[in-house]
């Protein structure tokens, strides 16, 4: 009897603990803050291309992109300036993208390591994610200097905090 029970659990436990989710692209939000001047904004046009199983994060991938032209700071002139050739170069680089390399569980959720591409330049980035019943929330910080976007001459003044909210269903 024990052998039958162990065999049953071994064969069917992946189906019991699997928690594959579907990201709701159209409800995702990505917000950012340029730390030096406390300028907030958002970027939209999010497309999710990964596969997440909350029961097996190590086999999951998180990837997606946003449309550069949607960058908005709630100031038409500043937003237009940031999308220009001098900064984010939205016409030449219509999308910003991310693809995970590794996902590991942490005490407060999980950490996603991967590559963020902005303006054709790819850098390694780590996101810290937490999970609620319906949303994944990820946070990270980048420096725009790393992507040849020099808002300020001094590197330390170009830090940007980013928060992504990814609503999901099972």
Residue ranges covered by each domain of the chain: 19-169
How far the first Cα of the chain sits from its last, in Å, is 34
* Predicted model pTM: 0.89
Kindly indicate the confidence band of residue 18, based on its pLDDT and cuts at 50, 70 and 90: confident
**pLDDT higher than 70, residue 10:** no
Q: Whole-angstrom Cα distance, residue 123 to residue 116?
A: 5
- In angstroms, rounded to a whole number, what is the distance separating the alpha carbons of residues 49 and 6? 36
- The first and second tokens of residue 43, run together, are 């970027």
The burial class, CB within 10 Å (0-12 / 13-18 / 19+), for 138 is buried
**What rounded mean pLDDT belongs to the chain?**
92
Q: At the topology level of CATH, where does 19-169 sit? A: Lipocalin (2.40.128)
Per-residue pLDDT of 141-167, as tens digits, reads 999 999 999 999 999 999 999 999 999
Residue 1's pLDDT is 54
Give residues with Cβ within 8 angstroms of 139, minimum separation 6.
127, 128, 161, 162, 163, 164
């Amino acid at each position: 009897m024990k052998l039958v029970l162990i065999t049953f659990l071994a064969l069917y436990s992946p189906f019991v603990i699997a928690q594959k989710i579907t990201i709701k692209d159209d409800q995702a939000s990505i917000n950012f803050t340029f730390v030096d001047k406390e300028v907030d904004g958002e970027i939209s046009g999010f497309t999710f291309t990964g596969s997440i199983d909350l029961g097996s994060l190590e086999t999951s991938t998180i990837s997606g992109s946003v449309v550069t032209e949607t960058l908005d700071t709630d100031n038409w002139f500043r937003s237009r300036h940031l999308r220009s050739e001098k900064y984010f170069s939205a016409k030449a680089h219509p999308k910003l993208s991310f693809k995970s390399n590794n996902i590991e569980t942490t005490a407060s959720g999980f950490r996603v390591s991967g590559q963020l591409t902005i303006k054709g330049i790819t850098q390694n980035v780590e996101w810290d994610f937490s999970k609620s019943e319906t949303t994944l929330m990820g946070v990270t910080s980048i420096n725009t200097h790393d992507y040849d976007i020099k808002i300020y001459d001094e590197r330390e003044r170009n830090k940007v905090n980013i928060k992504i909210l990814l609503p999901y269903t099972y």
